[in-house]
Chains A and B, each alone.
Chain A
Amino acid sequence: MENTLRQKAKELLEKGDVKVVIGYGWNKRKTRTTPVFITKPEDVEKLVFNPLCVNNLSLYLTRKFADIKALGKPAIVAKGCDIKTIAVLISESQIKREDVVILGMNCNGVVYKQELWKGELKPEIMPTKCHNCDVRNPHIADIIIGEKVNFTPPDTPAGMVFDKIRDLDKKSGEERWGFWIEHFNRCIKCYACRQICPLCYCDRCIAEKNMPQWIETSAHPRGNLAWNLKRAMDLTGRCTFCGECERACPVNIPLNLVNQKLALVVKDAFGHKAGYDEKVHPPMIVFNMEDQEDFIK
């Protein structure tokens, strides 16, 4: 699989179809994978693909990384879940489909955190998204690499994140409020969730606007709540559950819960699942005359 990947990357670079291949490589001690940017055909040996390749590289296609854009047309090594993010980026006109070569990897699942890797991929160390993955065989790709994977996701979403959402839904409003305030209180406003999110690509974030100051800059419970609500709201119908925000959070706020709760709401209310079709508009920029309005008096 890695050999095919290297060979395809080499061909692309040699032919000049792409100027840079964004992929995964080893760190110096070969314990973790790290993003690599291959610009020379002889460097393709650096590319690897294994269950440690958990991070979503589509972040590097956004306008946050002008220096990578400046290299020229990219090819990107992407798992099915990363391709979902690319599809949303395309549907939001952030990149054009023809401006990126997607090297789709058939994937058997990845680890939730690279630290958990003990040489074997077990269901316990896989994130919730892998247990419910219906894109183990990439759905949008120019080149598909690897053997076809046979995996049928469960009908009802299973795994820790969805169990916790159902659990919270059963609780009373006060209990939920207590749960979230306790978590959001820990927020230190580092904005790692925003920086790592491939779909948070505004040039100027509302959190940095101070005339007027919409979101308090200090790590105070009141502003923390406002920030986390705003972040979740802006990802409504767009979040593809790559899980990077929760992984990047230094104080372990369960951001996947809010994101996935809203994804479930969007699926119920508008029948939309983010990231499956790059030609469909995101649900929050369109509307339907028949949208549910039983709550509006």
Chain B
Amino acid sequence: MSEHTQHKHGSFEPQIIAFVCNWCTYAGADLAGTSRMEYKPNVRIIKLPCTGRIDPLFIIKAFEKGADGVLVSGCHPGDCHYTTGNYHARRRWIAFKNLMDFIGIDEKRLHFSWVSASEAIKWVDLVNNITDEVKKLGPFVEYKGLSER
């Protein structure tokens, strides 16, 4: 995973890691698949029981292992399968996003969203947009460079 995918033409293809919750976003992505919608193949989905399960270390680890962008997505507020998991996650994200920003990580590399089980179209748009955005930024050389120090 540390090597980013290179096309034959040499254009950069970013690696996006998506941490999604089992009940909403994963089902939404599944719906996109079963509905035969097409979206950019750069995203690697990691399914977790709930967004409340996502420790900030997961995101740090994804960057460590060579991700160019990270997407975190779960149920809309009020829709959580475990009632309050996403509310807790939202609090954590507010702090974590500000911390990452303070450390100097570009906010375009770290995305948060709510995608429900029926929002396959939203998921497709989201992945396409993030892929384009991260593609423009180029590989996350700052973080990857840490490995070579």
Contacts and interface: CB of A to CB of B under 8 A. Distances in A.
Interface of A: 168-169, 173-181, 185, 206, 214-215, 220-222, 225-226, 229-230, 232-233, 236-237, 258, 261-262, 265-266, 269-270, 283-289, 291-293, 295-297
Interface residues of B, number: 36
Contacts of B4: none
A270 B56 contact: no
B56 A168 contact: no
Given A179-B104, A229-B103, A269 B64 contact: no
B60 interface: yes
15 contacts: A173-B104, A174-B104, A174-B142, A180-B103, A185-B149, A225-B146, A226-B57, A229-B56, A266-B95, A287-B87, A287-B90, A291-B91, A291-B94, A293-B90, A295-B97
Interface of B: 56-57, 60-61, 64, 77, 84, 87-88, 90-107, 111-114, 126, 142, 146-147, 149
Given A289-B87, A291-B90, A173 B101 contact: yes
Contacts, number: 111
A249 B94 CA distance: 28
A270 B102 CA distance: 18
Contacts of A296: 90, 93, 112-114
Task: Name, among A168, A283, A295, the residue most crowded by chain B CB atoms within 10 Å (CB to CB).
Answer: A295
Nearest to A290: B77
A237 B95 contact: yes
A222 B105 contact: no
B99 A232 contact: yes
A288 B100 CA distance: 22
B44 to A, nearest CB: 18
Nearest to B76: A296
Nearest to B94: A269
Contact of A176 (B92, B93, B103, B126): B103
Contacts of A293: 77, 90
Given A221-B146, A222-B147, A175 B102 contact: no
Contacts of B84: 287
A288 B84 CA distance: 10
Contact of B146 (A206, A222, A285, A291): A222
Contacts of B113: 296-297
A214 B149 CA distance: 20
B99 A258 contact: yes
A230 B87 contact: no
